[in-house]
Amino acid sequence: MEERIGVLLRTGVAVAGAVLVLGLAGFFLHGSQGGFLQADLLRHGTPPTLRSLAHGDPVALLPLGILLLILTPILRVAATLVLFAAERDWIFVGITAGVLGILLLGLAGVGG
């Protein structure tokens, strides 16, 4: 089971990494079709670039890859929850659910 959690972590990072590489390659080959300037991409965080993904802007792959990275450990916690449920270890199912709840608050950008 530990092996599988390890595989999940590696896969998440690999997929996110590939998306980031594609985003960087796309930016250097085509620039930003969404009209995002270098300065914006260097000096500001850009949740808005994410929206230009629908218009095929390669730059949008960068925030997408970042979000995938953030999701990876959250998925790992979800997998751990399943593991404890399979062992009928209800105390640890509760503890893991608590961690997952806190993570989802953070993912939603609570307080921002």
CA–CA separation, 112 and 110 (whole Å): 6
Q: How many residues does the chain have?
A: 112
CB 13 within 8 A of CB 72: yes
**Could you say which of 30, 35, 82, 107 contacts other proteins (CB under 8 A)?**
107
- Does position 85 interact with other proteins (CB under 8 A)? The reply is no
Q: Shortest CA distance to 77 belongs to which of 66, 65, 93, 88?
A: 93
Coil vs helix vs strand at 106? helix
Report the site for other proteins in 41-60 (rule: CB under 8 A). 41-47, 49, 59
Q: Which residues bind other proteins (CB under 8 A)?
A: 2-3, 5-7, 9-10, 12-13, 16-17, 20-21, 23-24, 27-28, 38, 41-47, 49, 59, 62-63, 65-67, 69-74, 76-77, 80, 84, 91-92, 95-96, 98-99, 102-103, 105-112
